[in-house]
Amino acid sequence: MWKRWILSLIKPSNADRNFHTSKILQEAKLIDGKKIAGEILQEVKQSVDSWVQSGMRRPKLVAILVGEDPASTTYVNNKMKAAKSVGIDSETILCPYDVAQAALIERIQLYNVDPLVDGVLVQLPLPKGINEKEICHAVTPSKDVDGFHSENIGNLSSDKKGIVPATALGVKELIIRTKVETFGKNAVVIGRSKHVGLPIALLLHADGNGETGALDMTTTICHRHTSHVELKKFTILADVLVAAAGVPGLVTKDMVKPGACVIDVGITRVKDARGKFKLTGDVDFDGVKQVAGHITPVPGGVGPMTVAILMQNTLFAAKRNQQNK
Amino acid sequence: MWKRWILSLIKPSNADRNFHTSKILQEAKLIDGKKIAGEILQEVKQSVDSWVQSGMRRPKLVAILVGEDPASTTYVNNKMKAAKSVGIDSETILCPYDVAQAALIERIQLYNVDPLVDGVLVQLPLPKGINEKEICHAVTPSKDVDGFHSENIGNLSSDKKGIVPATALGVKELIIRTKVETFGKNAVVIGRSKHVGLPIALLLHADGNGETGALDMTTTICHRHTSHVELKKFTILADVLVAAAGVPGLVTKDMVKPGACVIDVGITRVKDARGKFKLTGDVDFDGVKQVAGHITPVPGGVGPMTVAILMQNTLFAAKRNQQNK
C-alpha cells in the first residue's frame, strides 16, 4: 500500500501525462499573416471592382525605387504584384543610385500634381546623402499612401481619419482579426521609429471610440536606450508585445508573459552558418512560441500585411482624391 | 548587561534616531513652478525686447473667451497679464455663451489673416454644442500658439521643430530645469488627452538628438481603461511620473517609486468640508511627498508653466511668421 502510494509520487499518473501532453500542445497559435493579408487583398479587390463599375477611374499607384538594392527591389516588386492582383494600376520609376535630392523631389512633385495618380511611395532606405525625412515630406499628404508625412502622422495623433502608416495598421489588423483581447490590457512596443514603432503605439493606446478606432491598451514604448533589465520588466507585463527594433533574437522566452500575443515586425537579413542570408525577426521564435498565446512568423507575419494595407491605403486615397475633385 | 542589550533592541539608539530624523528631512524637494515660470518669462521678455529693438513688430496675442465661466475668465486674465509683463501686445475677445459655431469660426478666421496678429488661442472648455476639435483646427497652424492643431501635433510626432502644446512643453521644462536624470529612465504618463497627456508622452519618449529635444525615456501611457491594479504596476517603476488624469488624489504614496520625480498636471475644483472650492491635483501631495524625490504643488506647479510657455510660443510664432513674410 505504502509502496504503491510512494510510487504514485514518482511515476506520473495518466492525468499527469495528459496534462503534460496538453501543455506541449498548447504552443502559441501561429498568426498567419499571409492568409490574413490575402483576405484583405480580396476585400480591396472587391472594393476596387465596385469603384470602377460605378464609373470611377481605376486607382493608380506610383513607386519610386532609387538604386538597385536587391531587398528594396524585391519589396517594390511585391507591392506591384499585389497592386496588379487587386486591380490597381501601377508604375515603378527607377532612379539611379546617385540621383540628386533636388531631382528626386522634382520627380515626386510631377506625380503630386498628376491627376491620374492616386498614390506615390518612395521605397526606403534611400542612399546616403539623401535626407529621407525631406523626401517623405515631398510627397503630397493626400497621395502619401505610406502615411509618413507629418500631416498624416498628425491626423493619426489627433484621432482624425486619414492615411495610417501601412505596417502599423497591419499590426493592428493582425491583432483585431486574431480576436486577441485588448481593451484595458497592457501593450509594449519595442522601437520608437516614426514610421513603425510610434504609429503602432498610437494605434494601441488611443480611444477605441475615436475615428482611428484604436485599441484602448495601456502602452509602453521601449527603445534603444531602454536597458535590457528594464525592458524585461515591461515585456513580462505585456498582453500584446510588438517587437520593432530590428535586433535579431532580442525577445526571448523569459521576457514573455504566458499567453501573450507576440507580433514580430523586425526583419533583418542575417548570414547563417553556411554563409547564406536569411530573414530573421526580433523574436526568438522557437523559444517564445513555447510561452506565447499567439505569435507571428518571420517571414509570413507582418510583411505581407504591410503590402496588403498599402493597397487599402491606395484605394482610400483614390476615393478621397477623386471624390474631392 | 543583558538587560542593557535587550533595552537597546527596544529603545532606539541615537544613531537610529538620527536615521529616523534624516528620513523625515528627506522629504521630496518642491518643484517651484512659479519660480521657474518666472525665469522663463524673464527670458521671453529679454527676447521680445531685442526683437523689437531690432526693428521688428511687437508680437501680438489674441485670446477668445466664450461665455463667462469664472475659471476660464481667470485663466485668460492670467495669460493676458503674463503677456503684458513680457511686452507682448494682447487682446481678449469676449463671445456670448450661445455663439454659433460657424460665427466663432468666422471670427477666428479674421485673426488668421490679420497680419498684425501672431498668436490666436481659444480658451477651453467650450460650451456644449460647439465642437472643440473643429474650433482648434480652425486656428491657422502658424498662429496656433496652443499647439493643438493636428499639423502642430504632427510636427511634434515627426520630430519637426514647431509649436508644442504649452502644458506638455512646460512639464518638460520643469523636468529639465530640476536636473532630474531622464536618459534611459522610466516615465509614466497617466492620461492620454490629445492636448496634454499624449504630447507629454511624445516629449518624454523620443530622441534627445532630434529637433524637439525629447528626453529618451521608456514611456508608458496609462489612461481611464487602465485598472488601478495595473496602474500601480507601472507607476511603481517610474522615475518620472506625470499625472494628467483630472482625478483628484488618484496617485497615492504606495504607487510611487522612492525618489521619483512626480509632476501633477491635474487641476480640479473640489468643495472642501466648509463648502469652499479649492484646486486639487491628481496626486495625494501630503502622502506622496514622503517618498518622492521631487514633487510639484497644485496650484503653483504646472499651471504657471503653461502660461509662461504660451508666451514663449507666441514669440516663436511671431518670429517665424514675420521672418517668413
**Lowest-pLDDT range of A205-214, B23-32, B232-241:** B23-32
Q: In whole angstroms, what is the distance from residue A156 CA to residue A138 CA?
A: 19
B152 touches chain A (CB under 8 A): yes
Active site residue A282: no
For residue B177, being part of any structural domain is answered with yes
Q: In whole angstroms, what is the distance from residue B73 CA to residue B93 CA?
A: 11
pLDDT at residue B237 tops 60? yes
Cross-chain residue pair B194–A157, CB shorter than 8 Å: yes
The one-character DSSP state at B290 is: T
Task: Give the residues of chain A that fall short of pLDDT 70.
Answer: 1-25
Task: Write the pLDDT tens digit of every residue in B64-119.
Answer: 999 999 989 999 999 999 999 999 999 999 999 999 999 999 999 999 999 999 99
Mind telling me how many Å the CA of B179 is from chain A's nearest CA?
A: 19
Q: Where do we find the cell 507666441?
A: B314
Length of chain B equals 325
State the pLDDT at residue A324: 84
| Nearest residue to A198 via CA among B215, B202, B109, B316 | B202
State the pLDDT at residue A325: 73
B155 touches chain A (CB under 8 A): yes
Q: Is the Cβ–Cβ distance between A105 and A46 less than 8 Å?
A: no
B12 or B264, which is more confident? B264
Torsion of CA A286, A288, A291, A295, to 10 degrees: -90
Task: Write the pLDDT tens digit of every residue in B277-324.
Answer: 889 999 999 999 999 999 999 999 999 999 999 999 999 999 999 988
Tell me the average pLDDT across B44-55: 98
pLDDT at residue B229 tops 50? yes
Residues 106-135 of chain B whose Cβ lies under 8 A from any Cβ of chain A: 133
E strands, B125-230, in order:
186-190, 218-222
The one-character DSSP state at A126 is: P
- Specify the amino acid at residue A73: T
For residue A145, being part of any structural domain is answered with no
Q: In whole angstroms, what is the distance from residue B4 CA to residue B6 CA?
A: 5
| Nearest residue to B57 via CA among B316, B319, B325, B324 | B319
For residue B283, being part of any structural domain is answered with yes
Torsion of CA A77, A83, A84, A88, to 10 degrees: -140
Cross-chain residue pair B150–A152, CB shorter than 8 Å: no
For residue A94, being part of any structural domain is answered with no
pLDDT band at B267 (very low <50, low <70, confident <90, very high): very high
State the pLDDT at residue A9: 45
State the pLDDT at residue B102: 97
Collapsed DSSP state (helix, strand, coil) of residue B13: coil
pTM of the complete model: 0.91
State the pLDDT at residue B1: 43
**Lowest-pLDDT range of A93-102, B213-222, B270-279:** B270-279
Q: Where do we find the cell 502619401?
A: A144
Task: Write the pLDDT tens digit of every residue in B160-197.
Answer: 999 999 999 999 999 999 999 999 999 999 999 999 99
Residues 22-51 of chain B whose Cβ lies under 8 A from any Cβ of chain A: none
For residue A52, being part of any structural domain is answered with no
pLDDT at residue B20 tops 90? no
For residue B42, being part of any structural domain is answered with no
Collapsed DSSP state (helix, strand, coil) of residue A297: coil
- Cα separations in angstroms, B36 against A153, B147, B185, B296, B303: 32, 21, 23, 12, 11
Q: C-alpha cell of B309?
A: 510657455
Domain membership of residue A281 as a residue range: 165-302
Task: Write the pLDDT tens digit of every residue in A201-239.
Answer: 999 999 999 999 999 999 999 999 999 999 999 999 999
For residue B64, being part of any structural domain is answered with no
| Nearest residue to B61 via CA among B311, B307, B305, B309 | B311
pLDDT at residue B268 tops 70? yes
* Residue among A154, A186, A218 whose CB faces B151 most closely: A154
Q: In whole angstroms, what is the distance from residue A163 CA to residue A151 CA?
A: 10
- Mind giving me the DSSP string for A21-67? HHHHHTPPEE--HHHHHHHHHHHHHHHHHHHHHTTPPPPEEEEEEES
**Selected catalytic residue, list A118, A143, A144, A146:** A146
The residues with which A93 forms a beta bridge, in sequence order, are: A64
Which residues, in sequence order, are CB contacts of A292 under 8 Å at separation 6+?
A28, A256, A258, A259, A260, A261, A262
State the pLDDT at residue A18: 47
% of residues, chain B, pLDDT over 90: 88
For residue B52, being part of any structural domain is answered with no
Q: In whole angstroms, what is the distance from residue A138 CA to residue A193 CA?
A: 19
CATH of the domain at A285: 3.40.50.720
ipTM of this complex prediction, to 2 decimal places:
0.91
Residues of B in contact with A225 (CB under 8 A): 183-184, 216, 218
Bridge-based pairing state of the strands A268-271 and A277-280? antiparallel
Number of domains in chain A: 1
User: Half-sphere exposure of residue A303, counting CA atoms within 13 Å on the CB side?
Assistant: 17
